[in-house]
Amino acid sequence: MPLPKAELHLHIEGTLEPDLAFELAARNGVKLPYADTDELREAYRFEDLQSFLDLYYELMAVLRTERDFEDLADAYLARAATQGVRHAEIFFDPQAHLARGLDMGTVVEGLWRALGRSEENHGISTKLIMCFLRDESADSALETLDAARPYLDRITGIGLDSAEVGHPPVKFREVYEAAAALGLRRVAHAGEEGPPEYIAEALDLLGVERVDHGLRCMEDPALVERLVRERIPLTLCPLSNVRLRAVDTLADHPLPAMLDAGLLCTVNSDDPAYFGGYAEDNFRAVRESLGLTEERLRELARNSFLASFLEDDEERRARYLAEVDAYAF
């Protein structure tokens, strides 16, 4: 059994495996511009975040009904269970679906059909985090938050994703304030392709409690010092960073230096169907390429539970941490 862990940076749409994409395409009469799964996999050669996002949004066309979202989430949870995931805080991108004519209920209720049964079916507790697309307008984000109001009992927090450069956190100040007033937790992608200034801005202007990626903080020692001092968790995604060329090779990944600096790092899979690995695959990859010790891996697993939004169930968090502590490599 792999090391028990929480997955905190996982886009549910990024778990759409080619087989399921074709199955859903057939079920819904959607024509994909690829002859088969092999030809689709050929398209998985990304140069940067945008080239990945183009394919990621294109393939979402196969998701049409509640059952599609349920099947997508259920397939992810089944896989995550084999990778030692005990708790998952799952992102979804409603704007990408609303723009295709779906409604918020189809997306949230569909996902919830799988998440609501996840503990009994897969032994994984879950939370849902609604992301805003930062390359869409601030007004669109506000409208999306409004559309989510009937479903807020299902949604733990908000996030910010999609094309980062040129779309600084400040653009979303108002919607983050509104979400905070509704009691929603706040995270945001920052410092993946964008500069370290976006990380500081996300903390100062959006009040984020966790930074997704945050990789480029390493360019600013004062920012690193602040992140350490304030115990701000970073949700790193090593295999994603290689595929989207944030780092040249896994051996160049700054994770060991980040841990040495005292940063509260976690390891996650981001969009595993596209980047070649789920949660434990990422752990295994950093272990092999970066020579992380067992105690470092245990620290990463502990961090994942410490950084998760389990304040509503501290007993559960303590149980998960005890599992990590008792784990024999």
Of these residues, 89, 164, 192, 193, which one is catalytic?
A: 192
Residue of 71, 89, 201, 270 interacting with Zn ion (CB under 5 A): 270
Residue 259 CB, nearest approach to ligand ADE (Å) = 21
14 binds ligand ADE (CB under 6 A): yes
What 3 state SS string does the chain have?
CCCCEEEEEEEHHHHCCHHHHHHHHHHHCCCCCCCCHHHHHHCCCCCCHHHHHHHHHHHHHHCCCHHHHHHHHHHHHHHHHHCCEEEEEEEECHHHHHCCCCCHHHHHHHHHHHHCCHHHHHCCEEEEEEEEECCCCHHHHHHHHHHCHHHHHHCCEEEEECCCCCCCHHHHHHHHHHHHHCCCEEEEEECCCCCHHHHHHHHHHHCCCEEEECHHHHHCHHHHHHHHHCCCEEEECHHHHHHCCCCCCHHHCCHHHHHHCCCEEEECCECHHHHCCCHHHHHHHHHHHHCCCHHHHHHHHHHHHHCCCCCCCHHHHHHHHHHHHHCCC
Q: Is 311 a catalytic site residue?
A: no
Residue of 8, 49, 73, 130 interacting with ligand ADE (CB under 6 A): 49
Question: Could you tell me how many residues of this chain bind ligand ADE (CB under 6 A)?
Answer: 11
Residue 181 CB, nearest approach to Zn ion (Å) = 25
Query: Mask of contacts with Zn ion, 227-266, x by CB under 5 A?
Result: ----------------------------------------
Query: Mask of contacts with ligand ADE, 116-155, x by CB under 6 A?
Result: ----------------------------------------
Residue 276 CB, nearest approach to ligand ADE (Å) = 14
Q: Which of Zn ion, ligand ADE, none interacts with 77 (beta carbon under 5 to 8 A by kind)?
A: none
Residue of 95, 125, 144, 240 interacting with ligand ADE (CB under 6 A): 240
Question: Which amino acid, 53?
Answer: L
Residue 142 CB, nearest approach to ligand ADE (Å) = 20
The span from the CA of 92 to the CA of 12, in Å, is: 6
Q: For ligand ADE, give the closer residue by CB, 12 or 324.
A: 12
Question: Which amino acid, 288?
Answer: E
Residue of 15, 118, 162, 308 interacting with ligand ADE (CB under 6 A): 162
Judged by CB under 6 A, the chain residues 166 through 205 that form the site for ligand ADE are 189, 192
**Which residue in the shown chain puts its C-beta closest to ligand ADE?**
161
The span from the CA of 58 to the CA of 67, in Å, is: 19
Query: Mask of contacts with ligand ADE, 242-271, x by CB under 6 A?
Result: ----------------------------xx
Q: Which residues bind Zn ion (CB under 5 A)?
A: 270
Instruction: Tell me which residues are annotated as active site.
Output: 192
Chain contacts with ligand ADE (rule: CB under 6 A): 11, 14, 49, 56, 161-162, 189, 192, 240, 270-271
